[in-house]
C-alpha cells in the first residue's frame, strides 16, 4: 500500500556522451524524461534529432512492411495448444545485434527487392485481370469462325454483332419477316438469358432494322483493332495467362529467397525502434555545441544505482537530485508485495492515485479476489483456473499487464475453489454444502452478501479516515467517516434482536451509535458555515443514507452472479444426462454437451465475475476515499515487438 517517492534528476553532460547516456536510461527503464519549458528550450540551440527521427520513421515503416510481406511466404511453424495465449520473444545477444547492424545495407536492399517484387506482383495481377476480362468478352463469340475485323458494313450489305435477351429473339425474327426485311439472323451462343447473334442485312433496310433492334433491346458488340477470330484471341490470352503464372512462380521463388532474411529484419526493426525512442527522447533535450541538459523523474529507490552508472559511463557529467516542488506533480509509481501487485492493473484501469494519496491495491486485492470467487462460485471452475493459469504463465511467459491479468484470474480461481467448497458446487452439482446452499437458502445468502458489502464499505471509510488523519485533519475522520460507520453499524445492531434473537442490549447499543452518528452528521457535515446553513447542510448530508442503501444493495449481485453460474451448470448437467441415456451416440453427444456447455458457462461467468468485481471496486469502494488524478510513469524504455534485446546494448 505504497506510492513510490519520486525524485527529480537534473543532468548536465558532454554532448558526446548523449548516446551512451540515453542507451543506459533506456536499458534501465527508470527515468521519465521531461519536456523542458519553451523558455528553457529557446535559451539553447537544438540539435537535429527531430529530422533524424523522421528519416528513421520512414526506414522503420519500410522494414515493418517488408516483415509483414515476407511472413506470407514463410511456412507457418507448428504451434502448440497454448500458443494462442502469446509467445516468448527470442533473446538476441550483443554479437547478433552487431552482425545485423554490419549487414544493414544488405537488409535494406532486401526491403527494396521486396518492394520491387510487390510492384511486379501488382502489375502481373492487373495484366491477368485484363486478360480474364477480355476472355469473358470473346467467349460468347467463340463459335464464330469469321475473323472479327471482317464483321463490317459493305457496299450492299452489313454484318452486325450483338447480344439480345433470349426471349426477344422470336420477336425480332417475326418483326423482320412481317416487314419483309432482307435479314439473316444467326444465333452464335446463349449465356443464361442472353443470346449472342450475328445479323446480315441489306443496306437499304438498315434504318427500319434499327428501330426494330431498339425495341428488341439489341446491344451492339464492337471489337475495334482486334484481328483474327474470337477463338484465336482467346488462345492468345490464355497463353498470356500461362506466361503470367510462370512469372508468378518465379516471383514466389524470389519471395522465398528474400524471406531467409526475415529473422534479421525483425532484429533490425527492433533496433530501429529502440533508436527511434532514443531520438524522440533526445528531441526533449537542450544542447550547446559541447554539452546537453536533461531533466527526468526517477523513482527514489533507483536513484543511487542510476547515478553510479551515469558517473561510470560519463565521468564529466554533473547530476543533481532534488525533491519535487510543491506545485509540481510527479508521475505515480506503485510498489506492493507480490499478491497485491498483481491487482495494480485494476487500479490503473480506473485512474492512477494522486502522488500524495494512497495506493489502494493492498486493501482492494483480497476483496476483489473474494468477490470474484463468490460470483463464479463453482469449485470445479475455480480449480481449472487455479491450475491452468499458472501453467499458461509458465509456458507462455507473458509480460507486463498481460501477466498480471492472468494472475488475477488465477488467484480469483483459488478463491472460487474456497467459496465453491463452502457452497459445495462442483461443475453445477453438489451433495451437501459446508456453509449454506444458495438456491435453498436465498435469504441467508443475501445476508452474507450484504455483510461482505458492509465490511467492504467500512474498510473504504476506514481508509478515508486514515487519509484524513495522515493529512492532519482528525476531525474530518470523525465527522465524515466514523459518523457514517456509527450510523450504519448502529442500524444493523438495532435490527439484530429481531433477526437473530439475541439480547436487547445489542439494540440499545445500536440505537445509541446510530443517534450519535446522526447528530455528528447533522451538526458537522456543513462545518465552517453559519449555524443555519450548517444545519441545512447536515440535513442534506443525511439524505446520503439513501446512497448507502443503494451501495449495499449493489452487493446482491454477488448472489445473483453466483446463482446464475450454478443454475446454468445444473441445466447443462440435466441436458447432458438426458442425452447420454440414448445409447452410444447419445453418450458421445452428451459428453460434448457437458464439456462444451461447462466451458461456455465458465468463460462467460469468469468474464462477468471480473467485470462486476471491478465495478464494486470502482464505484462502491473507491468512491468513499480514492484520490485519483495521478499520471502514469512512462520511462524511456526498450520495449520491442519481435525480439528481446535486453541482453544487448541496443
Domain-embedded: residue 25: yes
Domain-embedded: residue 318: yes
How confident is residue 395, by pLDDT bands cut at 50, 70 and 90? confident
Question: Under DSSP, is residue 113 helix (H, G, I), strand (E, B) or coil?
Answer: helix
Residues 467 and 563 both lie in one domain: yes
Q: What is the mean pLDDT of residues 412-432?
A: 85
Residues 442 and 572 both lie in one domain: yes
Domain-embedded: residue 527: yes
Per-residue burial over 576-612, b = 16 or more CB atoms within 10 Å of its CB, e = otherwise:
beebbeeeeeeeeebeebbeebbeebbeebbebbbeb
Q: What is the mean pLDDT of residues 574-592?
A: 84
Residues 158 and 66 both lie in one domain: no
Q: What is the mean pLDDT of residues 31-57?
A: 67
Pick 35 or 559 by higher pLDDT.
Answer: 559
Q: For residue 488, give the nearest of 529, 549, 436 by alpha carbon.
A: 549
Domain range holding 534? 335-426+435-624
The whole-angstrom separation of Cα 598 and Cα 381 is 8
pLDDT at 84: 45
pLDDT digits (tens, 9 = 90+) for 125-178: 999 999 999 999 999 998 888 898 888 777 778 888 899 999 888 888 888 888
Nine cell digits for residue 388: 491452468
Residues 274 and 367 both lie in one domain: no
Residues 219 and 270 both lie in one domain: no
The whole-angstrom separation of Cα 154 and Cα 170 is 27
Q: What is the mean pLDDT of residues 49-59?
A: 66
The whole-angstrom separation of Cα 425 and Cα 380 is 8
Domain-embedded: residue 109: no
Domain of residue 167, CATH code: 3.30.70.2750
The whole-angstrom separation of Cα 383 and Cα 391 is 13
Q: What is the DSSP code string of 267-281?
A: HHHHHHHHHHHHHHH
Q: Judge whether residue 75 has pLDDT over 90.
A: no
pLDDT at 78: 55
H/E stretch holding 219: strand 219-220
Q: Judge whether residue 478 has pLDDT over 90.
A: no
Q: Judge whether residue 240 has pLDDT over 90.
A: yes
The whole-angstrom separation of Cα 162 and Cα 219 is 5
pLDDT at 48: 46
**Beta-ladder partners of 335:** 2
Q: Judge whether residue 496 has pLDDT over 80.
A: no
Q: Judge whether residue 83 has pLDDT over 70.
A: no
Nine cell digits for residue 355: 502522488
Residues 340 and 380 both lie in one domain: yes
> In terms of DSSP bridges, do strands 157-165 and 2-3 run parallel, antiparallel, or are they unpaired?
unpaired
pLDDT digits (tens, 9 = 90+) for 254-295: 999 999 999 999 999 988 888 888 888 887 888 888 888 889
Domain-embedded: residue 461: yes
CB distance 219 to 162 below 8 Å: yes
Nine cell digits for residue 324: 519535487
The whole-angstrom separation of Cα 222 and Cα 161 is 7
Q: Judge whether residue 414 has pLDDT over 90.
A: yes
Nine cell digits for residue 218: 439489341
> In terms of DSSP bridges, do strands 194-202 and 286-287 run parallel, antiparallel, or are they unpaired?
unpaired
The whole-angstrom separation of Cα 308 and Cα 242 is 69
Residues 444 and 508 both lie in one domain: yes
Domain-embedded: residue 575: yes
Residues 460 and 514 both lie in one domain: yes
Domain-embedded: residue 565: yes
**What region does 424 belong to: left with phi over 0, alpha with psi -120 to 50, or beta?**
left
The whole-angstrom separation of Cα 449 and Cα 559 is 7
Residues 72 and 180 both lie in one domain: no
Average pLDDT score, the chain: 83
Q: For residue 185, give the nearest of 174, 199, 171, 196 by alpha carbon.
A: 199
CA 574 and chain centroid, separation: 37
> In terms of DSSP bridges, do strands 219-220 and 318-322 run parallel, antiparallel, or are they unpaired?
unpaired
Q: What is the mean pLDDT of residues 222-231?
A: 89
pLDDT at 322: 92
Residues 85 and 152 both lie in one domain: no
How confident is residue 481, by pLDDT bands cut at 50, 70 and 90? low
The whole-angstrom separation of Cα 192 and Cα 274 is 62
User: What is the pTM (predicted TM-score) of this model?
Assistant: 0.73
How confident is residue 49, by pLDDT bands cut at 50, 70 and 90? very low
pLDDT digits (tens, 9 = 90+) for 288-319: 888 888 899 999 999 999 999 999 999 988 99
Residues 79 and 192 both lie in one domain: no
pLDDT digits (tens, 9 = 90+) for 191-218: 888 999 998 888 888 888 888 889 889 9
pLDDT at 41: 67
Residues 307 and 347 both lie in one domain: no
Q: How many distinct structural domains can be found in the chain?
A: 3
Q: What is the DSSP code string of 379-418?
A: HHHHHHHHHHHHHHHHHH---HHHHHHHHHHHHHHHHHHH
How confident is residue 50, by pLDDT bands cut at 50, 70 and 90? very low
Domain-embedded: residue 373: yes
Amino acid at each position: 500500500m505504497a506510492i513510490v517517492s519520486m525524485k527529480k534528476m537534473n543532468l548536465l553532460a558532454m554532448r558526446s556522451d548523449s548516446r551512451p547516456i540515453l542507451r543506459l536510461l533506456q536499458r534501465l527503464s527508470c527515468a521519465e524524461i521531461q519536456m523542458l519549458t519553451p523558455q528553457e528550450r529557446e535559451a539553447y540551440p537544438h540539435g537535429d534529432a527531430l529530422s533524424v527521427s523522421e528519416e528513421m520513421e520512414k526506414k522503420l515503416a519500410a522494414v515493418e512492411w517488408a516483415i509483414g510481406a515476407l511472413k506470407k511466404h514463410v511456412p507457418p511453424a507448428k504451434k502448440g495448444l497454448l500458443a494462442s495465449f502469446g509467445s516468448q520473444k527470442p533473446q538476441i545477444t550483443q554479437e547478433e545485434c552487431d552482425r545485423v547492424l554490419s549487414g544493414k545495407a544488405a537488409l535494406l536492399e532486401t526491403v527494396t527487392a521486396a518492394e520491387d517484387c510487390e510492384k511486379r506482383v501488382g502489375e502481373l495481377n492487373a495484366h491477368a485481370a485484363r486478360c480474364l476480362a477480355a476472355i469473358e468478352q470473346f467467349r460468347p463469340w467463340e463459335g464464330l469462325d469469321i475473323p472479327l475485323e471482317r464483321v463490317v458494313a459493305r457496299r450492299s450489305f452489313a454484318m452486325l454483332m450483338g447480344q439480345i435477351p433470349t426471349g426477344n429473339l422470336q420477336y425480332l425474327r417475326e418483326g423482320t419477316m412481317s416487314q419483309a426485311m432482307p435479314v439473316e439472323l444467326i444465333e452464335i451462343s446463349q449465356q443464361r438469358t442472353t443470346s449472342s447473334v450475328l445479323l446480315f442485312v441489306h443496306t437499304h433496310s438498315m434504318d427500319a432494322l434499327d428501330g426494330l433492334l431498339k425495341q428488341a433491346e439489341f446491344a451492339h458488340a464492337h471489337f475495334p483493332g482486334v484481328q483474327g477470330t474470337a477463338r484465336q484471341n482467346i488462345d492468345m490470352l490464355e497463353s498470356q495467362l500461362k506466361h503470367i503464372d510462370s512469372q508468378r512462380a518465379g516471383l514466389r521463388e524470389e519471395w522465398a529467397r528474400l524471406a531467409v532474411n526475415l529473422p534479421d529484419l525483425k532484429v533490425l526493426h527492433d533496433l530501429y525502434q529502440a533508436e527511434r525512442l532514443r531520438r524522440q527522447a533526445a528531441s526533449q533535450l537542450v544542447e550547446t555545441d559541447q554539452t546537453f541538459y536533461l531533466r527526468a523523474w526517477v523513482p527514489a529507490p533507483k536513484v543511487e544505482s542510476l547515478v553510479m552508472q551515469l558517473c561510470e559511463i560519463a565521468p564529466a557529467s554533473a547530476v543533481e537530485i532534488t525533491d519535487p516542488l510543491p506545485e509540481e506533480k510527479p508521475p505515480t509509481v506503485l510498489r506492493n508485495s507480490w499478491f497485491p501487485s498483481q491487482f495494480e492493473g485494476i487500479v490503473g484501469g480506473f485512474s492512477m492515485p494522486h502522488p500524495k494519496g494512497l495506493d489502494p491495491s493492498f486493501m482492494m486485492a483480497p476483496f476483489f479476489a473474494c468477490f470474484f470467487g463468490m460470483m463464479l462460485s463453482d469449485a470445479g471452475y475455480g480449480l481449472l483456473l487455479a491450475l491452468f493459469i499458472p501453467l499458461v504463465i509458465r509456458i507462455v511467459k507473458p509480460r507486463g499487464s498481460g501477466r498480471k491479468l492472468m494472475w488475477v484470474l488465477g488467484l480469483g480461481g483459488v478463491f472460487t475453489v474456497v467459496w465453491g467448497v463452502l457452497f459445495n458446487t462442483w461443475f453445477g452439482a453438489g451433495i451437501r454444502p459446508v456453509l449454506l446452499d444458495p438456491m435453498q437458502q436465498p435469504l441467508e445468502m443475501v445476508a452474507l452478501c450484504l455483510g461482505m458489502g458492509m465490511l467492504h464499505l467500512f474498510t473504504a471509510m476506514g481508509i478515508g479516515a486514515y487519509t484524513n488523519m495522515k493529512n492532519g485533519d482528525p476531525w474530518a475522520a470523525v465527522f465524515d467517516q466514523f459518523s457514517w460507520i456509527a450510523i450504519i453499524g448502529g442500524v444493523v445492531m438495532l435490527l439484530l434482536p429481531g433477526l437473530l434473537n439475541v439480547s436487547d442490549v445489542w439494540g440499545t447499543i445500536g440505537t445509541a451509535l446510530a443517534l450519535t452518528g446522526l447528530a455528528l452528521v447533522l451538526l458537522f457535515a456543513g462545518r465552517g458555515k453559519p449555524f443555519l446553513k450548517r444545519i441545512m447542510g447536515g440535513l442534506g448530508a443525511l439524505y446520503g443514507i439513501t446512497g448507502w442503501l443503494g451501495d449495499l444493495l449493489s452487493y446482491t449481485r454477488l448472489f445473483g452472479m453466483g446463482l446464475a453460474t450454478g443454475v446454468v451448470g445444473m441445466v447443462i448437467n440435466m441436458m447432458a444426462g438426458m442425452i447420454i441415456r440414448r445409447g452410444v451416440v447419445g453418450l458421445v453427444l452428451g459428453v460434448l454437451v457437458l464439456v462444451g456447455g461447462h466451458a461456455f458457462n465458465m468463460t462467460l461467468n469468469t468474464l462477468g465475475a471480473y467485470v462486476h468485481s471491478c465495478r464494486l471496486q470502482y464505484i462502491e469502494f473507491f468512491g468513499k476515499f480514492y484520490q485519483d488524478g495521478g499520471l502514469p510513469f512512462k520511462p524511456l524504455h526498450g520495449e520491442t515487438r519481435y525480439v528481446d534485446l535486453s541482453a544487448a546494448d541496443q
